[in-house]
Each structure stands twice: as structure tokens, then as C-alpha cells.
Amino acid sequence: MRVLAAMSGGVDSAVAAARAVDAGHDVVGVHLALSRMPGTLRTGSRGCCTIEDSMDAQRAANIIGIPYYVWDFSERFKQDVVDDFIAEYSAGRTPNPCMRCNERIKFAALLEKALALGFDAVATGHYADIRTDEAGNKELHRAATWAKDQSYVLGVLNTQQLAHSMFPLGSTPSKAEVRAEAAARGFSVANKPDSHDICFIPDGDTRGWLKDKVGAEQGQILDRSGAVLGTHEGAHAFTVGQRKGLSIGYPADDGKPRFVLEVQPKTNTVVVGPKEALDLAEVAGFSYSWAGLGPVESGIASYGADDSITEFACEVQIRAHADPVAAIAFVAGGELVIRPTTPLNGVAPGQTAVVYVGTRVLGQCTIARTVSAVPAPTAQLV
């Protein structure tokens, strides 16, 4: 097969490209330039896709012996990831930019261009596994090693994208083995630290970056009954589950700390309350998709009236490194509704809920609404 290897400049993508060559594929390496302005992406071990990363990727491609190119995806990245991030925060939601980057850049824009140029698949260094069932259908599964599993951030992939994706590291037992292989191959990135944090916020100050992009306007901090506790300088600076930086000035009646429970951008209001109020009995989202066959086609649920899907047992994961939680899910009214058997904690609209059945990624939704496991107190009349 003709394979386009996405090379970020890290150790994982370098080894993935090399393994694709070892498997007998005709491989071309490509690095995605995501910004035209120096200083607008994280550098060193804290970011990805910088100029230094492109040079690391080229050195690895030279050792592997494959053609190497840099493609300018900066405009698409700005529109689909950066602008989306700003819009989501402005709407009071907490987006996952890495999820959006995988969905809209690496497995939409990149794959689209690759197929147009005659490539059969795109290979990346993600730790996940693609399997084929008895009928020839592609399925996305967790990687062999739980500690490095990245299937959560790939939950947005659809059937067509899975059919043209390769993850050569999926069966690797540990990251240490990948680093040892990189060293044996002579890659300079063998001990390069993993990237983390948001790549397009240069200094890591998300609150300050959003203030500059969205602006600041004073609003109220309320408790769950609607009582005013204080003011803030912009609701966009708060996220659900946040404890520090509330600046209320006096303790709650029970002496326990307060946490952000809700951000209401239309009224520029932040609602706070006790930690237990962060426990959620239900999350749901209209923007859902299936990674391969859906629950009905997979035989674990059936269709009801009005295109609904009956309840099925699953597990839900709401962060990249969170533990999965047993749940019941169903589709009704155009929403994927997920009810965990143990309440989820500190989940905000805008986050992604990925649904698993065993090791298989069944699908995902962007959370649009939540239901607390602890009812709010009734507002008292004065």
C-alpha cells in the first residue's frame, strides 16, 4: 500500500513510519506546519508541530530513507481548532483541542488530501488498535498498554476514516520499548520528552490567552439557590470543577470549599457550590458518531420509535487519562444519552464522552448537557 506517515517530530511517529516501511509499504513522510507565525506554538517538550519538531521529523525520515515533505495546514488549523476553541469557551463549554485536531486536521483534512493524491492510508504514532471482524468491518480498540492507550482521542473517527488509518504502535507493550527501538534505529528523538499542554498557547497561560481573545467583562458569582456571592472579570476564565481563583472572600456556611458547577456565558454568570454537586447522573450530546458499526448493527441494541436506539451496557470515559466507568447508554430525541452506574465528577459541556464496549471504541459525543446527581436547593424567598 501507499502510506502517508504523519510525522510530528516525536519518537512515536518516527517509529510508526519506520514500522510501516518494515511492513513493506511504500511510505512518504509528512509534517504538518500548523502556524506561520513564530512564537505562536509551544516549543520544547511542552508543544508539538514547531520548527524544531519539523527538523526532528526530517532527520528521522532521512534515516528511514523515505521522501519527506512539510505541508502548510496553518489556515485549516486556525479555523478548525483555534477558532473553535475560542468559540466553545465563549459559549461556556470546555473543548478538547487535541480531539478537534485529530478529528478535523489529522483524520479529515490530512486524510482527504492523502486519498486525493493516491495514498491508501495515513499512519500515525497513536497508541490504538484497528481490528477487522469476521464480516470485514473495521473496529477501533484500545492499545495493548493501558498506560499509553490513546483510543480516547481517536473516538471521533468514523467508518471511512478507520478504513484508511494505520496505527503501527497499537500492539506495543510499552513506551519504553518504542524508545529502545528508536535508539537502535539511530533516531535522535529516542529520548525526546512527550508533548503536552495546548500547543497554540505559547506561555501556557490559558486564562490570560482567552482574556486577550475574548475580552473581560465583570459578572456575578452565584450559589445554587441564586444568591450573589461575589463578582468576576469574565466567565470564560472559569471551568467546571475549578476550585482555585474564585475570590469570593468568605467561606461557605458549612466551611467546605466551593467549586465551579456551571458557566453561563449569556448572562456572564458563574455558579458555584459544594464538591458533591459536581457528581453527574447523566450526560448527553447531539453531536455523536460511531467508530465503525453502531450499536444496532453490532447487535448490542435495537431501533425504537423515531430513530431511537434502546439501552445498551457500555463503559464511558470522559478524559484522555480517566478510568472508564460502567454505564447504560441509549439514543433518544437525537441525543446520545449516557447514565453511569457511578456518578461522573467534574464534567463540563464541551468535553467528549467516549463510549466503549470491552476494548472496542463504539462511539462518542460532545457533551451538551449534564444532570447533577445532587438536586439544587430551592431558592428561598426573602
Second-level CATH architecture of 278-372: Beta Barrel (2.40)
Q: What is the pLDDT of residue 91?
A: 79
Burial class (CB in 10 A: 0-12, 13-18, 19+), 163: middle
CA-closest candidate to residue 156, choices 126, 120, 115: 126
Q: What is the pTM of this model?
A: 0.87
Q: Identify the pLDDT of residue 132.
A: 93
Comma-separated ranges of CATH 2.40.30.10 domains in the chain: 278-372
What is residue 320's predicted lDDT score, i.e. its pLDDT?
A: 87
| Residue in 48, 49, 98, 199 annotated catalytic | 199
The dotted CATH code for 2-185 is 3.40.50.620
3-state secondary structure of 160: helix
> Widest CA span of the chain, in angstroms?
77
Per-residue cell: 355: 463510549
The pLDDT assigned to 108 comes to: 87
**Radius of gyration of the chain from its Cα atoms, rounded to whole angstroms:** 22
Secondary element (H or E) of residue 177: helix 175-185
pLDDT reported for residue 284:
97
pLDDT along the chain (382 residues), means of 10: 95 97 98 73 56 91 97 91 88 82 88 96 96 93 86 93 95 92 96 78 77 80 89 82 82 84 85 91 94 95 91 96 95 96 89 96 94 72 36
The fold for domain 216-273 equals SH3 type barrels. (2.30.30)
Torsions phi, psi for 201 (to 5 deg): -110, 95
Q: Is 199 a catalytic residue?
A: yes
Task: Check if 98 is active-site.
Answer: no
Residue ranges matching CATH 3.40.50.620 in the chain: 2-185
Angle ∠(128,133,135) on CA atoms, nearest 5: 145
Instruction: Locate CATH 2.30.30.280 in the chain.
Output: 216-273
